[in-house]
Amino acid sequence: MPQQRICVIGGGPAGLAAALEGARLGLKVDLLERNRIGANIRCAEGFYDSLRLLGKPRAGLRFKVQEAVLKVQREYKVDCRKIDLWMIDRSEWQRSLADQAWEAGARILENMRVTVDTLRDLQREYDWIIDSSGVPSVTSLLYGFRDYYRRYGAVTAQYVVEGDFSKLGERLKFVLFPYYAGYYWIFPKGRDATGRETANVGIGYFPSKRGREKRGDILWEELNNVLEREKIEGKIIRRLGGLAPVKLREQLRYGNILLVGDAAGCASPLHGGGIDTAYVTGQLAARWIASSREYDFSHEVWRLLRRKLEVEERLCRLWERLDADTLDHFAGLIARDYRSIGIGWFATHIRMLLGNLGTGIRFRSGLLKGKW
């Protein structure tokens, strides 16, 4: 039986995982990346292994996150020692994955832009195409669902700042907005090989935020306000933004094309992160192609992610109902700072707490064990 020819579009986490896994499984893999591997990274670079399938990153590791700062009105400390959460240099990590994929037999072709016309040609040339081209995916341009990503995308803006972040150390900071509007983050990266100390400082709004699509320059103004509020002084060395698709598509196969990663919409609806789910969906696509393909690909992806997404969606619906004061107390619950919450608050919110107890238990199990 001849080798199946696979074309992977995009050299991000999903595409590189697909190329690496496909080559290891004996598929003939070509990966097309529009830039250079590891260039133009648009990410806060927190690596959270939510399903406990990937383990510690083998390259680009900056530090294991031991603690996070969670704030609404008050600041809480969240113990992260048992959470599989690392800070990485994603550019370095992706270059390492590309090296592994190449060594396994995949061809890595950089500076290769894929258009709709190119995609049609690729459909005829290859047995299967794995689309990890991000948002909007090139498949969405061909099949007419480009607007899906804007409708279900969180909008983000981020600065990479060079400065002194020793006060945070190896901790990540999250500041939540009420009513599931969004949050801002400060993710220190420590020092790089040249001794430069940087942090990713960003802000994001979820699809439920009213007027979100009209923000434009206002989003950058609000990020500038974050720098002022947090007393962050330093040199802004990079400015980036975009959409994080936080709703997994029902249909993930179009003819001989499989959608993975951001193209599939598999970022978390709870926090917008998605390095791990991008990787595992890319890996799954390669395995599905190499297997008997007993079930539909969309079914397989949903079977893998459904329980996690169910819990996250329920928490999002709860978050939508929480004003700043109530959200602050829930942040205290996450941090297990019961003394700050007070018994009176528990008594007045007992019905809400009991109604969401099952979701809370599943969330904690997922957070600590990857069992959602």
Residue with tokens 């009209």: 214
pTM of the model as a whole? 0.96
Architecture of domain 5-56+88-151+246-306: 3-Layer(bba) Sandwich (3.50)
CB 208, CB 320: distance < 8 Å: yes
Question: Which residues in 186-209 are b (16+ Cβ under 10 Å) and which e?
Answer: bbbbbeeeeeebbbbbbbbbbbbb
Rounded Cα distance, 308 and 10, in Å: 25
H helical segments located in the chain: 13-24, 90-104, 116-125, 138-143, 147-151, 217-229, 275-290, 297-320, 324-335, 338-341, 343-348, 350-355, 357-369
Residues whose CB is less than 8 angstroms from the CB of residue 216 and which lie 6 or more positions away in sequence, other chains included: none
Residues whose CB is less than 8 angstroms from the CB of residue 244 and which lie 6 or more positions away in sequence, other chains included: 153, 154, 156, 204, 262, 267, 272, 273, 274
Rounded Cα distance, 107 and 98, in Å: 9
Rounded Cα distance, 301 and 295, in Å: 10
Q: Domain limits of the chain?
A: 5-56+88-151+246-306, 154-245, 312-369
The DSSP secondary-structure symbol of 2 reads P
Dihedral (CA of 120, 122, 125, 128) sign: negative
Rounded Cα distance, 297 and 300, in Å: 5
Q: What is the DSSP string of 163-212?
A: E--TTT-SEEEEEEETTTTEEEEEEEEEE-TTS-EEEEEEEEE-TTSTTG
Rounded Cα distance, 111 and 119, in Å: 16
Q: How many CB atoms lie within 10 A of CB 43?
A: 22
Architecture of domain 154-245: 2-Layer Sandwich (3.30)
Q: For the chain, 372 residues long, give each residue's pLDDT as a single digit of tens.
A: 678 999 999 999 999 999 999 999 999 999 999 999 999 999 999 999 999 999 999 999 999 999 999 999 999 999 999 999 999 999 999 999 999 999 999 999 999 999 999 999 999 999 999 999 999 999 999 999 999 999 999 999 999 999 999 999 999 999 999 999 999 999 999 988 888 999 999 999 998 755 555 466 789 999 999 999 999 999 999 999 999 999 999 999 999 999 999 999 999 999 999 999 999 999 999 999 999 787 899 999 999 999 999 999 999 999 999 999 999 999 999 999 999 999 999 999 999 999 999 999 999 999 999 999
